[in-house]
Structure 1
Amino acid sequence: MFGIDAVIHSTYSGLQKGLHAISMMIIVWLMASGYYAALITHIPEVKGAVSTFNVALATLFAPVFLFRMYVSFGKGYADVLRSRDVMRYAAFLVHNLIYITTLIVIVSGFLMMNRDIDMFGLFYIPAVITDPRLHGWFSDSHTLACYGLALLLFMHVAAVIKHHLTGRPVLKGMFF
């Protein structure tokens, strides 16, 4: 196997595939509903409900994502760095940018909170920052990181579709 197929089939463990699936479902939900609440709906109750739910879900997801980064760290890096395949470098770069950008989205989202985080009505996590200027800065950072993550995920999905259409079903290596 050559190219990205070799990276996927040789380095993704069952645990990584499971973490990828969980991450994909949660990130797609958070992004789709978050963009809906921020850009489409004008109903304050919907915006508030989506925001409250998403903040709690993202807070629960944060340790899962950190564990995913830990599990994935270093997998296939040496092979990619030894390779002369430009597409492997590109895939490697985009995957790492997705990890970094997702981490920025999670951290900035947590730090931009100017109210306690309602964890599905079970308990509350106090806001970490009280300075309104910092809330604004983290909110702006969160928005930019969300746009960047949307672009990176679009590129990722486009690459998966391209590989599938050219006879390399990479989804098998990512989920099965």
Structure 2
Amino acid sequence: MNIRLAERADGAAVAEVHIEGRNAYYNGHVDVETLDRRAAQLRGIYGDMPTRFDRNLWCAEVDGEIVGMALVGPPQEWLGPWVGELYQIHVRPDHWRRGIGSALHEACMGAWRAGGITVGVVEVWSRNDRAQAFYESHGWRADGHTRPGPAGTEYVRLRRTIL
């Protein structure tokens, strides 16, 4: 496995990893039309992946194929200059439970440490038990903040100290 920063040419592969990962947990809860509409948006976003100085997009490769991705940057809600947001970690479902998500997570933590970020936040869909367990196993805890999510649910914000 190789963890590296994404390059412009990785956009299409990163989009498909994101789509496969999110569809795995939304399947059966969010209608297909909504999933397809968001997939088209993601293909456009990652297909024209701009280089942003305030974000890091990481890729996980296995045998030269991108099978995971993680994106970090400033929080969507201003929480201070020392706070970073982990927007997402996605791994293709056929590569779950192989340490890929943990390796991506460590890359994000290392980038934050190097950049002086001391607190991280991430939002997790309330019905995504797998993601909640993953983040909890890596030291993240709910901080009481929520926002509306799809299918009458909510997103739960988790927080952790970056050491």
TM-score, scaled relative to structure 1: 0.27
TM-score, scaled relative to structure 2: 0.28
Structure that is richer in strand per residue: 2
Larger Rg over CA atoms: 1
Q: Which has the higher contact order (CA 8 A, sep 6+)?
A: 1
Structure that is richer in helix per residue: 1
